Amino acid sequence: MKSLILTGFMGTGKSTLGKVLAERLQLPLVDLDTVVVQEQQMEISEIFATYGEETFREIEHDVLCRYAAQPDLIISPGGGAVLRAENRAVMKEHCSVISLLARPEIILERVNRDTTVRPVLENRKPGQSKLQRIEEVLTQRMPCYQEADLLLDTSDASVEELAEQVLVWLKQQAGEMTWV
C-alpha cells in the first residue's frame, strides 16, 4: 500500500490519529520530527535557535524524501513540511495525503496542553497573541494543506471517528483503483 501521510498544522492531531491508524492498519508510524531529533541529537527548538529555520527545513526535507518514498508506513510530518512545493510534490507522488484541519481556538487549546516549545508560535510580533499568530500562519499555509487528497476537520470528532473515516476512504480508493 502507498504510505499514508498526515499533514496539518500543529495541534490538529497528526500524532494522535497516526497512532490509531498505525494500530488499525498494522503499519509502523514514523514521526518525522522524532526522526530529526534522533538523527541530529538535538531538540527541534534547539535546531531553530542554533541554526535557524532554513536549516531545519533542509533537514526536514531530507528526512521527508527518505520516508515518503517507502510504502506501507503511516507518516506524521511536522506542520511546516508542506511549505516547500518540492515536499508537497514528493508527498503527492508517493503517498496518500491526508490534511488535518482544526479551528484556531481548538489548536490553541491543544498546543497549550503540552510543554513542547514551538518556535513558529514563539516567533510573534510585539503585542501579537498566540491565537493571532496561529490564525496568521494557518491562513498562509491553508492553500498548501488544501492540496491533500483528503481533508479532515478534527475540531469536533473523536480520534476513533476520524480513523473510521480514513479507513472508509481508503477502501473507496482501493475500490476505485480496481476499476481503473
List residues near ligand S3P by CB under 6 A.
10, 33, 44, 78-80, 118-120
Asked if residues 9 and 97 have their Cβ atoms less than 8 Å apart, the reply is: no
Residue nearest to ligand S3P (CB): 78
Distance CA 35, CA 84 (A): 19
Of residues 118 and 133, the one with the C-beta less far from ligand S3P? 118
Least CB distance to ligand S3P at residue 160 (A): 21
Least separation in angstroms between CB 11 and ligand S3P? 7
Nearer to ligand S3P, 14 or 94 (CB): 14
Query: Judging by beta carbons within 10 Å of its beta carbon (0-12, 13-18, 19+), is residue 172 exposed, middle or buried?
Result: exposed
Q: Which of 167, 166, 3, 7 is nearest to 100 (CA)?
A: 7
> Which CB, 49 or 174, lies closer to ligand S3P?
49
- Identify which of residues 119 and 147 has a Cβ nearer to ligand S3P in the complex: 119
Q: Name the minimum Å distance from CB 14 to ligand S3P.
A: 6
Q: Minimum distance from CB of 172 to ligand S3P (Å)?
A: 27
Nearer to ligand S3P, 25 or 145 (CB): 145
CB of 179 to ligand S3P, least distance (A): 36
- Each as own residue / partner, the long-range contacts of residues 102-105 (CB below 8 Å, 24 or more positions apart, any chain) are 102/8, 102/9, 102/11, 102/12, 102/13, 102/153, 102/154, 102/155, 103/155, 104/131, 104/134, 104/135, 104/138, 105/131
Secondary structure class of 96 (helix, strand, coil) = strand
